[in-house]
Amino acid sequence: MVRFLHTADWQIGMQAGHVGKAARKLRRCRLDVARRVVEVARGQDADFILVAGDTFEDNAVEGLLVQQVADILAAFGGPVYIIPGNHDLLAPGSVWEHPAWQEAGNICLLKEPVPLEAGSGVTLYPCPVTEKYCRADPTAWIEAAGNRRICIGLAHGSLEGVGADSDELPISRQAPGLRGLDYLALGHWHSTFLVEGPDGVARMAYCGTHETTRFGERDSGNVLMVQIEGRGEPPVIAPLRTGILTWEKVALTLRSNDDYRDLVRQVENRPAADRTLLWLVLEGLLAPEASIHLKRLEQLLEARFFYGRVDDGGLVPSPQDQEWIEALPAGYLQQAARKLLEQAAAGEQRRRQVARMALEELYMIAREVGA
């Protein structure tokens, strides 16, 4: 029986320009969560850790960061097997030449595609990345079918035929069956994804990045704990959450002061704001008190949140004054607007409400077409 932790895509040293002033915090966070990964491995009694590439953002990251990452992995104590990915590929001058890797006795940097007898009755089949762009399946060399030990592959690339960059390091969906592997630990995709074989059993998986890297990234911030009872047995794969940040992009349509007030209240009451990156995309009307509420929003985001962003370019002035009606082309359009304005001002409440909404619609259309 073997039990191990599968992680990848730490992207340490990521510039993170997309979160502006929070970039430094975000970079530090990725290191902190790397420490959490090692704690999880220890807490889960993992026999070893597999790191399936892109540990670093690129090969130009500072030596200091390389040392810090090596120290984090060294703290595990047990064996750590690591392959270079396409971001930190094995090449002259790469991060893998740093003396820290040699110094750490428990870290095994896998530089060549050759089988390695690891502990716990396991043979590892590593597929280190040595070229940035490669159209060949990096697992093609593996022939594990005749091996009686538990056979685990470690590779970095895309699933063949899936996604925009699928011809970069394309890995066959049938890789475990074709190569005779009990499990294929994959890196490159940031979302956790278990790839089921024809028999419905997942023998290959993307663990995903240990901490989410951007808005809209689905199901990231995890590691996988994998347990295999013996050769040929289906792996038991359990995702465990390691990420601490929540990335949320919200699109909202605001019309009245009440809408603005509700939004401010929601942001005020938001739990765990210091671990939340919130991106508000606002559309609709600039209500009379909008600027007061927008200022309050920005203050809250800056003071309490890990990162906040408000896109208010979609908000247009509301039809409070009548100038815009005068600017409409004379004729039925202007008449309709005047009539709606009258109805919005007096009469039965429901009727007034409908008239106001219609007026707002007309106002928005008028702005859009530049009437």
Least spacing, CB of residue 253 vs Mn ion, in Å: 38
Cβ atoms < 10 Å from Cβ of 301: 22
**Max Cα separation, the chain?**
87
- 181 to 220, contacts with Mn ion by CB under 5 A? 188
* Cβ-based nearer residue to Mn ion, 208 or 319: 208
Instruction: List C-alpha distances in Å: 215 to 16, 100, 190, 245.
Output: 12, 33, 12, 11
* Cβ-based nearer residue to Mn ion, 157 or 284: 157
Residue 85 touching Mn ion (CB under 5 A): yes
Instruction: List C-alpha distances in Å: 322 to 295, 303, 326, 332, 352.
Output: 27, 39, 7, 16, 17
Region of residue 61 (left: phi > 0; alpha: psi -120 to 50; beta: else):
beta
Q: Give the residue carrying structure tokens 């990231």.
A: 220
Tell me the site size for Mn ion, rule CB under 5 A.
4
Listed in sequence order, the residues at least 6 apart from 266 whose beta carbon sits closer than 8 Å to its beta carbon are: none
Least spacing, CB of residue 271 vs Mn ion, in Å: 33
Least spacing, CB of residue 237 vs Mn ion, in Å: 21
Least spacing, CB of residue 11 vs Mn ion, in Å: 9
C-alpha span between 225 and 42 (Å, rounded): 11
* Binds Mn ion by CB under 5 A, chosen from 86, 192, 209, 242: 86
Question: Could you tell me which stretch among 79-87, 201-209, 249-257, 325-333 binds Mn ion (CB under 5 A)?
Answer: 79-87
Least spacing, CB of residue 207 vs Mn ion, in Å: 13
Fill in the per-residue mask, 257 to 296: x = in contact with Mn ion (CB under 5 A), - = not in contact: ----------------------------------------
* Nearest residue to 306 (alpha-carbon basis) of 332, 272, 335: 272
* Cβ-based nearer residue to Mn ion, 27 or 188: 188
Name the residue with the smallest CB distance to Mn ion.
Answer: 188
User: Is there a contact between 139 and 175 (Cβ–Cβ < 8 Å)?
Assistant: yes
Q: H or E stretch including 234?
A: none
Fill in the per-residue mask, 43 to 62: x = in contact with Mn ion (CB under 5 A), - = not in contact: -----------x--------
Least spacing, CB of residue 364 vs Mn ion, in Å: 44
* Cβ-based nearer residue to Mn ion, 84 or 319: 84
Residues that bind Mn ion (CB under 5 A): 54, 85-86, 188
